[in-house]
Amino acid sequence: MDCYTKTLNCSQMEVPFIYLGLEVGGNPRKKKFWESVPSKLKSRLSVWKGRFLSMEGRLCLIKSVLSTVPLYYLSLFKAPEVVCKSIISIRRRFLWGWGKENRPISWISWKDICNSKGEGGLGIRDIRKFNYVFLAKWKWRCISDDKGRWKEVLDSKYGLDPSIVHIPVKSQSWWWRDLLKVCKEGGGDGWFQEQVG
């Protein structure tokens, strides 16, 4: 390996390393992997004085900023439950009065707030469903895209053709296992297969 680094005049990196703000080679099932997401949300909130914003202003910031900061992570990895709860807690506290000395009172359940406006909610995205949809996008692209180097890699490793017997679970990556698990939730063939029909 040293001869390659000398030839290319570069240094050898250790795994895990940070690339585009994402830890490459880390374990996405561990809380430590996700530590940067809640800290980024909190650092954004420290600049804003939530107590000086109206409810509409806080709602706008939640939808436009607090829902998009974790987007990159959520589009690639299944977030552990503890991380989702942490993100929900930050967003809920900001909505009901960030910056107040006392703990703000939540007047409506977060589940109801995440409903669409037509269903009486505020239209804030449910972080868990948001994560599932982004992961299912990879499965959808496996079905709908004709070509792509990423698809060739997945096909050679996992056999994307349904007629081919799949490799044993122990040989699958955590990312692939999480992707299949997310798409099969809901019983039967799973919600993904029901929607694709």
Instruction: Give residue limits of the domains in the chain.
Output: 26-125, 131-196
The β-bridge partners of 18 are 23
Cis peptide before 168 (omega within 30 of 0): no
The predicted-structure confidence for 117-174, as pLDDT tens digits, reads as follows 999 999 999 999 889 989 888 888 887 877 788 888 888 887 766 545 456 666 778 8
DSSP label at residue 76? T
Helix 127-144, helix 81-95: angle, nearest 10: 130
72-97 pLDDT, tens digit per residue, is 889 889 999 999 999 999 888 888 87
> What CA dihedral angle connects 195, 64, 43 and 93, to 10 degrees?
-80
User: What is the pTM (predicted TM-score) of this model?
Assistant: 0.78
DSSP assignment, residue 32?
Answer: G
CB 80 within 8 A of CB 31: yes
Residue 178: how many other CB atoms lie within 10 Å: 18
Instruction: Give the mean pLDDT of 47-66.
Output: 80
Strand-pairing partners, residue 19, are 22
* CA–CA dist 159, 166 (Å, integer): 6
Type and span of the H or E element at 42 = helix 36-47
Q: Measure the CA–CA gap between 182 and 136, rounded to whole angstroms.
A: 7
Determine which of 6-10, 56-60, 95-99, 110-114 has the lowest per-residue pLDDT on average: 95-99
The dihedrals phi and psi of 23, each to the nearest 5 degrees, come to -75, 115
Token digits of residue 126: 């449910």
Helices H / strands E in the chain, number of each: 10, 2
Q: What integer pLDDT is reported at residue 127 of this predicted model? A: 92
Report the distance separating Cα 13 and Cα 26, nearest Å. 14
Q: φ and ψ at 47, to 5 degrees?
A: -75, -35
